[in-house]
Amino acid sequence: MTQEQKQDIAHKLQEYINLHAISQTIVSDRTGVRKEYITSILKGVFTYDAGKGNTGDIPNKHFMKLAELLDYATEKRYWINRPTPQLTQMIATLEEARQHAYTRLIVGVTGSGKSHAISLYAKKHPADVFHVKVGSEDTLNGLLEKVCAALKVPPAKHKSAKIRDIAASLKMLYNYGKKPQLIFDESEYLKVSALCSIKEFYDYLDKYCSIVLIGTEQLTSQIDKLRKKDAKGIPQLYRRIKFGVRFLPSIDKSFKLFLKDIEDKELVKFLRSECENYGELHDVLVPCMREADRLQVPISLALVKKVLNINQVELFNAV
């Protein structure tokens, strides 16, 4: 990374801090960059005290973490954010929920850009938007520890105490004039106990904090199935979220926003026939565009098939 890029990152970081009225501690919490490094970088000093009168250069990886927060490109980007209907609706829904402390479920198909939208949105609200990704093996206790880590709340021993401490932290943000929002990504993986904890969060935080569950239709199907079985706590949860479900639009598989600059019509036809969503389109285009740049040739169907070893893929699918 060049000195000019480091200086640019330092300048944009100060602008970001001023714009969002946040502390260096919040930047450190969100990026994992040590606060003393951030202090030096903002002063235009890109070294640190290594002890015994020696200094060392602040490693580039810390500048990269800050660049990611600032959405600052340190190299050419091959995937540009596009105002897809899914992204536009999702951001609007998140903003509305945050402003009014609503509880919402946002449902969209795999590959519609939900996680990407969360990342973009959270960068715009670094002081009071917190998000965690639910894992398929997450227990309730493990999930609560993820939330504690996001909020920098020391995890209590018992699950009920964790929920109370998390709620107290979010309510304190509200009392300080913030608009806290807690987002659970890939919520289709939430187990019954975790879904019941969402009901508890709702009861603690109603009118103080927005709670948003984001996932595929497996999430709503799971909740409906458990409700019909009268699973403990689920009817109560359902009552609270019944009118808060928002479905994202279907993906336009012509991918007009993404393919308008590709001149090879056969490649466009191939992408439209083979890619089911934005995620798959990304996985095809980014490595191929990078290779096209390296070879200094236009991207084409022939190049894509070569980069992706497409004949072997077809053979694999046939088996």
Write the DSSP symbol of residue 248.
Answer: P
Question: For residue 167, what is the domain's CATH number?
Answer: 3.40.50.300
- Residues 17-46: tens digit of each pLDDT: 999 999 999 999 999 999 999 999 999 999
Choosing from 230, 247, 264, the residue where a domain stops is 247
The number of C-alpha atoms within 13 Å of 114 and in the hemisphere containing its C-beta is: 28
Query: Both 140 and 266 in a single domain?
Result: no
The model's pTM:
0.89
Choosing from 70, 94, 115, the residue where a domain stops is 70
User: Nearest 5 degrees, angle CA 207-CA 134-CA 78?
Assistant: 105
| 75 belongs to a structural domain | no
- The backbone torsions φ and ψ at residue 80, rounded to the nearest 5 degrees and listed phi first, read -100, 140
Strand pairing report for 47-51 and 54-57: antiparallel
Query: Both 104 and 63 in a single domain?
Result: no
Say what the pLDDT of residue 315 is: 41
Query: Both 243 and 269 in a single domain?
Result: no
Say what the pLDDT of residue 316 is: 44
| 78 belongs to a structural domain | no
Query: Both 240 and 260 in a single domain?
Result: no
Query: Both 9 and 101 in a single domain?
Result: no
Number of domains in the chain: 3
Question: For residue 37, what is the domain's CATH number?
Answer: 1.10.260
Choosing from 45, 70, 95, the residue where a domain stops is 70
- Residues 265-290: tens digit of each pLDDT: 999 999 999 999 999 999 999 999 99
Amino acid identity of 75?
Answer: E
| 80 belongs to a structural domain | no
Query: Both 54 and 12 in a single domain?
Result: yes
Contact 86, 251 (CB under 8 A): yes
Distant-in-sequence, close-in-space partners of 69: CB < 8 Å, separation ≥ 6: 16, 27, 30, 31, 123, 126
User: Nearest 5 degrees, angle CA 218-CA 93-CA 285?
Assistant: 70
| 155 belongs to a structural domain | yes
Contact 139, 195 (CB under 8 A): no
| 77 belongs to a structural domain | no
Query: Both 139 and 210 in a single domain?
Result: yes
| 270 belongs to a structural domain | yes
User: Nearest 5 degrees, angle CA 156-CA 151-CA 123?
Assistant: 165
Query: Both 102 and 66 in a single domain?
Result: no
The Cα–Cα gap between 103 and 212 comes to 6
Domain range spanning residue 233?
A: 85-247
What is the per-residue burial (b if ≥16 Cβ within 10 Å, else e) of 207-220? ebbbbbbbbbeebb
| 79 belongs to a structural domain | no
Q: What is the pLDDT along the chain (319 residues), one digit of tens a residue?
A: 899 999 999 999 999 999 999 999 999 999 999 999 999 999 999 998 877 777 889 999 999 999 999 999 888 999 988 999 999 999 999 999 999 999 999 999 999 999 999 999 999 999 999 999 999 999 999 999 999 999 999 988 899 999 999 999 999 999 999 999 999 999 999 999 899 889 899 999 999 999 999 999 999 999 999 999 988 888 988 988 999 999 999 999 999 999 998 999 999 999 999 999 999 999 999 999 999 999 999 999 999 999 998 765 454 454 4
Tokens standing for residue 144 = 């609560």
The Cα–Cα gap between 295 and 289 comes to 10
Query: Both 202 and 292 in a single domain?
Result: no
Query: Both 280 and 151 in a single domain?
Result: no
Query: Both 172 and 106 in a single domain?
Result: yes
Query: Both 133 and 225 in a single domain?
Result: yes
| 42 belongs to a structural domain | yes
The Cα–Cα gap between 274 and 263 comes to 18
